[in-house]
Structures are given as structure tokens and as C-alpha cells.
Amino acid sequence: MPEQLNTRVEDCFQQAESFFKRPFKRPVVSLKLRGQKAGVAHLHENLLRFNPQLYRENAEDFLKQTVAHEVAHLIAHQLFGDRIAPHGEEWQLIMRGVYELPPNRCHTYAIKRRSVTRYIYRCPCANSDFPFSAQRHSLVRQGRRYLCRRCRNTLVFTGESRVE
């Protein structure tokens, strides 16, 4: 899996070098990115991080669009410096001119959200269910109190939880 990714990164750099007729410093490439982002370019560290799950699930478009998108950030930074907008004119010109791709700011990959447990708290008010996160529930168990905004009574754990 990483071999195709590294090859595509190198191809993008070679395209840029051919287009601009100058060399560019190669980045470190990492597959240590989770969450909603498909890729991130760390300009000052010359580092590209990619989301391995989104890469696996969308390999063809990921290699074509996402890799070029992130490499274009590094190229724009090496050419124009710090004072450019992340998805500004310079980056867009590289996407269109060098890679002949649309300068899309965001991906449209389906993202699987992880399930979370909510702990149900109540107060005497009508319709007063308050779903607490595991972190907030833990703070209550350590002695923290939360008050209802309407009646100012302390919220009490019902013993119920639900998975969202």
C-alpha cells in the first residue's frame, strides 16, 4: 500500500520540477493521520501525512487528487514562502497548471464515525434529558456538579446510557 503512495508523491514532484524547471526538496511521507482529514501538509517540517483508512477505501481518487493536493501545498510553500493563503491563487495555479486537476479544497470521501456512549442525566424540569460524554460522566463521578440552566437543580445520573 505505501509503495503506490510514495510513487505518486515522487511523480507529483517530478511533474512540478519539469514544469518549473527547478528541483524541490522531497518530504517525509507518513501514514499516521486519523479522523476526517485525508491528508495534511506540514510546510515547515516538509512532511506529508495521509489517512490510511481513507486511502484504502478510496485508493484511485486518493492517489490522483489527495496526493497532488498535499504535494501542491509543499510546492507552493517552497516557491512562494509563508505569506500565501493555504488554498489561495498560487496553490490553485499549481493544481490546475502542473497537475491539471480541479483545485478542490475538501474531499468527499465517506467517513465512518465511531460510536460513542452517552450517559443520561436529568433534573426535575419537563423533557430534561442531558446526554453526557464519558469524560463529563467521569468528572461527575469524581465529585463535579452540573446544574440545569432552567431550574438550577443538580443534574442526576439516571443509570441509563445509549450508544450513538
CA–CA gap between residue 125 and residue 104 (Å, rounded): 48
CA–CA gap between residue 40 and residue 107 (Å, rounded): 12
Whether 98 shows a pLDDT value over 80: the answer reads: yes
Whether 113 shows a pLDDT value over 80: the answer reads: no
For residues 57-67, average pLDDT: 97
CA–CA gap between residue 144 and residue 151 (Å, rounded): 18
Whether 115 shows a pLDDT value over 90: the answer reads: no
73 annotated among ligand-binding-site residues: yes
For 31-155, strand residue ranges (E) read 39-42, 47-50, 117-122, 130-132
CA–CA gap between residue 51 and residue 34 (Å, rounded): 6
> Which H or E run contains 156?
strand 156-163
69 annotated among ligand-binding-site residues: yes
Task: List, by residue number, the catalytic residues.
Answer: 70
Q: What is the pLDDT of residues 34-59, one digit of tens each?
A: 989 999 999 999 999 999 999 999 99
Structural domains in the chain, CATH included, are 1-99 (3.30.2010.10), 117-163 (no CATH)
